Each structure stands twice: as C-alpha cells, then as structure tokens.
Chains A and B, each alone.
Chain A
Amino acid sequence: DVKVTQSSRYLVKRTGEKVFLECVQDMDHENMFWYRQDPGLGLRLIYFSYDVKMKEKGDIPEGYSVSREKKERFSLILESASTNQTSMYLCASSLRRQGVDTIYFGEGSWLTVV
C-alpha cells in the first residue's frame, strides 16, 4: 500500500514562528502536493512539485514556501506563522507527471497558531 506520512499530527505554534511541516512518501511518486483544508472551503492547493527541486504555486501560495530536496520528501514552510494559517494541512502524492493517476493523501497535520 502507498504510504504518505506526515510527521506531525498536531502542532501549536506562536505567531511569528517559523513552522516546518514534513511529508514523506514511500512509493517513488514524482508528484507531491500540499493542500489546506478549511470548513466550507474544501481543499485548496498551496504548492505542488513534479520532481526534485521543482515546485509550482497552487491557488493560495502566499505566506508559504516549500522544499523538495529528495524525491520522497516534500516540506511545507511557514516563514512567519499567523493566526489565519490555523488549519488542517494535507500532503499528497501521485505517480504520473502527465495526466492524472490516483492521488494518495496523508492523515493531515492540524496546526494551531496562537
């Protein structure tokens, strides 16, 4: 089975802190994604990556950056956390670069910024 692992399930951070959310997948997938989930808004794409060291902005990249130094790992970085970034963050990965194959999700990271 595909495994997408988000290292932190629950985090509480202070305003202004730098926050790292880590995601690892074990199926050699080229594509990796970070989504944010908020009630009534569904999932919104923050960033995605087609390959190592490659990244593309999604719908809501402001206030976030990402890093993909290894194929299996995709990190989401909040340079200076703010209260409006309190949310559930979901990492995902998929196999193909062109077209779409099934996207597999991690269990999510609940971030609270106080």
Chain B
Amino acid sequence: AQSVTQLDSQVPVFEEAPVELRCNYSSSVSVYLFWYVQYPNQGLQLLLKYLSGSTLVKGINGFEAEFNKSQTSFHLRKPSVHISDTAEYFCAVSERTGANNLFFGTGTRLTVIP
C-alpha cells in the first residue's frame, strides 16, 4: 500500500525568499510522483511530475522537485517565491503497475508574506 507524508501542514515564507515543501512516501514498488497546486476555490493543477529519467524535475511557475529514491522523498523547491504562490500544495504517488489512481498527502498550505 502507498502512503504519502507531507511533514509541514503550513509554511509561511517572506516574498522573494526560497521555499522547500517536504514530501516522503512509502511504497514496496516503483512509483510515479507528482506535485499539484490548489489555488483558493479551484481544483488541482499539475505542477510537475516524475515518471523516469533525470531525478531533478522542473515544473511550471519556477518550481522544481528532486526524486531521492534512497530517502523516498520528493521535495518541492522554489528559489524565490511570489505572493501569487500562496496556495495549497499536494504531493501524490502512484504505482507504476497496478491500480491507476493517485494517493495524496494531506497538503501543505504555503503562505507568502509581503
């Protein structure tokens, strides 16, 4: 069974500062990894995904994430945040084989302070 842990439920950060949102997963099989963003009153939008290849994945809006297999982590980073990055961020994992659905973490609310 899959599980996803987002260690920080809330992360406040000042504008133009760097940010890291942490995500760890547990799985007995190979996985795909995702980060989604949810702006207020909206559905989820894909930020980036790791399927295979380079472990450093670049996504939209200047975000990137690094897959670390030994630490079973997929942390999301941005070197300089903007007010518009204020949102909830969800890490998700899916097995490479088997059921085609995502398992989500509980989310991290990023608040960018002017």
Which among A43, A92, A107 is the interface contact of B42 at CB below 8 angstroms?
A: A107
Q: Report if B67 contacts A (CB, 8 A).
A: no
A99 and B94 CA atoms in complex are apart in Å by: 8
Chain B residues whose CB sits within 8 angstroms of the CB of A42 once the complex forms: 4, 6, 90, 104-107
Of B43-51, B68-76, B78-86, which stretch is located at the interface?
Answer: B43-51
Query: Does the CB pair A58–B46 fall under 8 Å?
Result: no
Query: Does the CB pair B97–A99 fall under 8 Å?
Result: yes
A-B contacts, CB under 8 A, total: 64
Q: Report if B99 contacts A (CB, 8 A).
A: yes
Which chain A residues numbered 1 to 54 have a C-beta less than 8 Å away from chain B? 4, 31, 33, 35, 40-45, 48, 50
Query: Does the CB pair A100–B32 fall under 8 Å?
Result: yes
Chain A residues whose CB sits within 8 angstroms of the CB of B94 once the complex forms: 100
Chain B residues whose CB sits within 8 angstroms of the CB of A96 once the complex forms: 100
Chain B interfacial positions (CB closer than 8 Å to A): 4, 6, 9, 32, 34, 36, 41-46, 49, 51, 90, 92, 94, 96-97, 99-107
Q: Beyond the given A40-B9, A40-B106, A106-B43, please list 9 additional residue pairs across the A-B interface where CB-CB is below 8 A.
A: A42-B90, A45-B101, A96-B100, A99-B100, A100-B51, A100-B102, A103-B102, A105-B44, A108-B41
